[in-house]
Amino acid sequence: MAHMIPRSADDYQPVDWQSDYANAIKDPRELIDYLQLDPNALPYQLSPNNSFATRVPWFYAELMHKGDPCDPLLLQVLSRIDEEEVSPKYVSDPVGDLNAEVVPGLLHKYHGRVLLITTGACAVHCRYCFRRHFPYTHSNPLKTELPRVLSYINDDPGINEVILSGGDPLSLSNERLRQIITSLEAIPHLHTLRLHSRLPVVLPSRMDRDLLDSLSATRLKVVLVIHANHAQEISTELVLACKTMQTAGITLLNQSVLLKDVNNRVSSLKALSQALFRAGVLPYYLHLLDKVAGAGHFEVDRQQGLSLMHELRKQLPGYLVPRLVSEVAGEASKQPVI
Ligand SMILES: *Cc1c(COP(=O)(O)O)cnc(C)c1O
Ligand code: SF4
């Protein structure tokens, strides 16, 4: 599903997803400029030099509204000075991932399912990401550790689902994904393959024919959990990609993070659920922000989360209401917020 991405007004050319992926915006000033914003009249300050680099695919930038410095998509990817704020409540591994690592890159926290960090790479860098400090270079199993990962899963018949995560697993090539899927489907007690990816949202061209073919050819039941936080992220291209995936028998769910100034209003959460439904995607989780250092300015407290949910339940059918959860290190599942 190649599409046309304008690099500039007079430079349209068809590109494949790899070049879309590589050609991301890496300088916040370029994004500001593209959105026709005055860098000296922003209602916030930019972060001068940030260890978590800027990365925004052009496709995603095009979904933003020009001239609006508080665009809900822009705020998710623009490094503001608030990221420098240090608070003892905000730490580098808020969800205890490193304690759940059973083989480098393989997290076994919950019964029946394991999560595989397939790559550290993402198409977009979300400023609130709880993995922004994760030591990916040490926990990238696919270079050397795949045999150990496979033998761990093979030795535990209680595991029936593998979640490919990251980073973003769809950053990998189709060929690499196919190798991983082939190794996994050879393990008889596995019946579900889940992918957690933001690529369908930020770069729908990633959902190409070849990927669809691999996902529909496997004997494993495939679940794709996309990650959209705002209705404005549900593009025509995403809807088309989702329709194709649905036809291929893939179960489509969405997870979001509750983010201050992005989606912490009943109207935005409602519009998001409705837009997802039009794309054939059901809302799954709405996460309270993980307290990762550098993301404090996105916090919505539990009380506001609860009252938003209360209102949302009144306005939507039950199947369009996501579960509000938080991740508590050491717990046996994500914790419902009640
Ligand atoms: C979130 C998560 C899962 C999946 O949890 P579900 O409730 O099944 O969606 C599995 N493993 C880890 C380490 C996770 O963080
Ligand atoms: S795509 Fe996901 S893993 Fe990557 S930066 Fe965004 S939230 Fe984090």
Ligand 1 atom with the smallest distance to the CA of 113 is: 10
- Segment 202-229 mean pLDDT: 97
Q: Is the peptide bond before 120 cis (omega within 30 degrees of 0)?
A: no
Is residue 14 over pLDDT 50? no
Write out the E strands in 158-278.
161-165, 192-197, 221-226, 251-257
Give the long-range contacts of residues 308-315, CB within 8 A, separation 24 or more: 308/258, 308/264, 308/265, 308/266, 308/269, 309/337, 311/266, 312/266, 312/269, 312/270, 312/273, 315/266, 315/270
pLDDT in tens, 298-320: 999 999 999 999 999 999 999 99
- The half-sphere exposure of 241 on its side-chain side, counting CA atoms within 13 A, is 27
Is the pLDDT at 136 greater than 70? The verdict is no
Determine the pLDDT at residue 8: 47
User: Are the CB atoms for 199 and 231 separated by under 8 Å?
Assistant: no
- pLDDT 10s digits, 69-111: 999 999 999 999 999 988 888 888 888 788 899 999 999 999 9
- Separation of 230 CA from ligand 2 center, angstroms? 15
Q: Please list every protein residue whose CB sits less than 6 Å from any atom of ligand 1.
A: 100, 107, 109-110, 113, 115, 163, 333-334
Q: Identify which ligand lies nearest to the alpha carbon of 113.
A: 1
Tell me the C-alpha distance between 284 and 306, whole Å.
16
Confidence (pLDDT) at 175: 95
Residue 124 CB–ligand 2 contact under 6 Å: yes
Burial of 115: CB neighbours in 10 Å, binned 0-12, 13-18, 19+: buried
Closest CA to 321 of 281, 290, 285: 285
- Residue 41 main-chain phi, psi, to 5 deg: -125, 30
pLDDT for the residue 88: 86
CB distance 55 to ligand 2 below 6 Å: no
Mean pLDDT of 62-66: 98
Pocket test for ligand 2, best of 60, 76, 126 (most atoms within 8 A of CB): 126
Q: What is the mean predicted confidence (pLDDT) over 4-24?
A: 67
DSSP code, position 18: H
Residue 5: pLDDT band (50, 70, 90) is very low
Q: How far apart are CA 312 and CA 309, in angstroms?
A: 5
3-state SS, residue 33: helix
User: Is 122:171 a contact under the CB 8 Å cutoff?
Assistant: yes
Distance from C-alpha of 40 to C-alpha of 146, rounded to nearest angstrom: 49
The answer to whether residue 1 scores a pLDDT higher than 50 is no
The model's pTM: 0.94
Cβ neighbours of residue 94 closer than 8 Å, sequence gap 6 or more: 130, 290, 291, 292, 327, 329
